[in-house]
Structures are given as structure tokens and as C-alpha cells.
Homo-oligomer: A and B are copies of this chain.
Amino acid sequence: MKSEIISIGDELLIGQVVNTNSAWMAQELNKVGISVIRITSIADDHADIIKALDEASERADIILMTGGLGPTKDDITKLALCDYFNSPLVFDQPSLDNIQRIFTLRGYTMNEINRKQAEIPACAEALVNIHGTAPGMAFRLNNKVYFSLPGVPFEMKALMSDHIIPMLQKMSDKVIIHKTILTQGVGESFLADKIEEWELSLPSYIKLAYLPQPGMVRLRLSATGTSKEILQKEVDIFIEQLYSLIPEYIFGEDDDNLETVVGQILKEKNHTLSTAESCTGGYIAHLITSIPGSSSYFNGSLVTYSNQSKVQTLNVNPHTLEQFGAVSGETVIEMAEGVKKVFSTDCSIAVSGIAGPDGGTPDKPVGTVWIAVSVPNKEIQVKKFHFGEHRVRNIRRSALAALDMLRKQLMND
């Protein structure tokens, strides 16, 4: 089955918004064996929408649209769909109930514009958008299926995962299974060298993809066939081989991320964590507390941006700062010790570095980061890293490196 994605919105055509929606959707569609043959971005323009739908339905079986479903005048996708499918707008009660629920929750009063968001073309099937007021819609015409989704990424994603992907899976006769292995602390080309023989041993119906991200590389196996059981067994064997080849780099699978993996280990081992952050500026705490239930193992963080605050709140010795500088192994050790006492935890992470773009010196250029990790019954571990020149990337890479150090220290308990 072939699909096309039509992204609707003037903001895409002036480059104000990068089209991340279509990349995410393409990933999800490919996972269930539906190839995407074209992605088209067009304006919030009636004629353009009709034209794009006409063209896409000549090439594809499944057409997915995003955007243009907001309550304001510039959002005209719904009217274009009425014309395209020759179907009048009608009120959809479940959609209206959903809008009402959201407004009650937020403590706002609904106005006429909001109410009108519950209108959909009569021939459409409404897909309830639990995160927003614009319902998703499904249409069928001439053996083709069409979906219209809001452009707000998390609303679109929920509608895709809850409604559309399950619907499309039922329509397909092919089975595709995926398994993703997450690695940290190793570059793509180095990884490729290490697993070259293993990669060559994969049969033609099991494909490997390298998916690099700042600070990590994901390895995804995709197996295509007719029996889920057989494919699963084969993939499991290859994954087992991979674990024995590169055990030191693998930190998780599929939708794991370092913060969930670290959280699970802390929970299982009944540990508590605190963080002392200088250059990461609270980002490690943010990652950890993004996980529901993190309050059971995370007590708190001290973001100490000034030297003074390192001394006053973390009890770092002023002489240490003077002699070795804030960005040093000696300082992060004292920060890691100090923060454990402040928050009464048995584990801690401390980070100090030069995120940039300013503040670098010949001795300590931008990207120099010291990380200390403390866990019970072990000496504090300290490491020095050299990241790049890009501030936001340095912050992210420091945070991931710190979480991975903690993970390894806890695993070796």
C-alpha cells in the first residue's frame, strides 16, 4: 500500500515552521509496511488543497493531511474537504462533548468559534482528539482512504497512534516487525565497523537502519514477512548477538530513553537521586522529572550557575574553586558530595563545564565538561569530556553522558 502526506499551512511555505510532522508520520507509516511516495506542503488555499488531493489520489491508496483545522479564518481545510467530498458540514456530538470537556478542564468558557470546531463533513468519520478541540477525520472514496489531522504535533501524534495506525494495520496483509536498540557514547562509523560482520549476516528480509541523534545512535531492525511469530524469533536471535557484540554501548530498547532507564534502575534498587548542575542549567533535572512517577526516586537539584552559589549551597571549598577552577574534576566531586547532603539522597550527579559560545580558554575550550557520579558503596566516578562548540547540543550531550555514567555505575552494583 502506498501513501502520501499533504501538509497544509502557509507557515510551512514561508519556512517559519519546519515540517517535523511529516517525518514522524512517515516513520510510523513505514513501521507498519506502508511506504510514503510523496510529501507535499501547500498553502492554506482552497484550490491548492483540492488540486493536491486530486493529484495524490491518482498515485496513492492512503492520503494523510495535516493542518488547517484551527478555529480561525485562515484555517480552511475543512471547507475544502466538504467541497472535495461533496458533503455538507454537520455537528458531531462526540466531538462537541470533547471540546466541552477540554474547556471545562481548563476553566474556560466555550464560544461560538469553539463550538463550530465540532462540525465535520457529513461523510466523514470523526476521530476524537483527546488533546485538542479539532477532531481528526477519516474519509473513504473510490477504494482510497483519506485522513485529515490537526497540525499541532502532539494532537496529530495521538490521533495517528490511537486511531489511524490501528486502522491501517487492519487493512494490510504484510507483517513488519521492528526492534530498536539504543546506544550511547559511540559514533555511527565506529559502530558500523564493530558490527560489520553481524550486519552482513542479516537475511535480505531483515533490514538494519542507523538512526543517529545528538548524543546517541539507534539501530533499528525491520523484518518483513507473513508470520509474526517466526519473524520475532529470528529478530530475537540477531538482537541477542548484538548485545554480546557491543554490551557496553547499549542502554535500552525501542521507546526507552536514558531518563526512563535510569529511573527504573533507581526504583528497583530503592535508591534516591539528586543533581548538582552548572553548565547543564537544570536540563538533567528536567529530563528526569519529565518521567511520570519520578518523585519516588528524585529528590531535587541544585542549579548553581555562580561560584558563590557552589560554595554557599553545595558547600564546595572556595580553595578548590580557586586552585582548580569551577570546571574541574575536584569541583564536580565536591558538588556531587554536597548535593547528596542537601537533598538526603544516596546517589548524585554533578556537572560543570563550558557550554559556550563564550567562556572558553586555551586550557579549557568551549565544550570541556567534567561530570561526577556518586552511588552507594563505590568511589565517586569522575570523567572529563570534550564536546563541540554548540551551546544547546553541549547541554544535551552533557546530560546524556551524565545519565549514562550513572546507569553504568548502578548496573555494576
Contacts and interface: CB of A to CB of B under 8 A. Distances in A.
Nearest to A298: B305
A308 interface: yes
A37 interface: yes
Interface in A291-311: 292-295, 298-306, 308-309
SS of A interface (majority): mixed
A40 interface: yes
Interface stretch (A107-115, A137-145, A225-233): A107-115
Nearest to A114: B189
Contacts of A309: 299-300, 342-344
Contact of A27 (B15, B24, B280, B389): B15
A115 B14 CA distance: 37
A330 interface: no
Interface string A376-394: 0000000000111111110
Given A17-B211, A36-B13, A358-B292, A312 B281 contact: no
Contacts of A28: 15
Contacts of A387: 106
A170 to B, nearest CB: 22
A216 interface: no
Given A113-B192, A189-B111, A386-B107, A356 B292 contact: yes
A220 interface: yes
A74 B282 contact: no
Contact of A41 (B18, B24, B38, B357): B38
A18 B15 contact: no
A409 interface: no
A26 B36 contact: no
Contacts of A26: 12-15
A73 B288 contact: no
A286 interface: yes
B154 A73 contact: no
Contact of A299 (B48, B131, B305): B305
13 contacts: A12-B26, A14-B222, A15-B23, A16-B23, A18-B20, A37-B43, A105-B386, A111-B193, A131-B388, A281-B285, A300-B304, A312-B344, A313-B313
5 tightest A-B contacts by CB? A281-B289, A282-B285, A282-B282, A15-B26, A15-B27
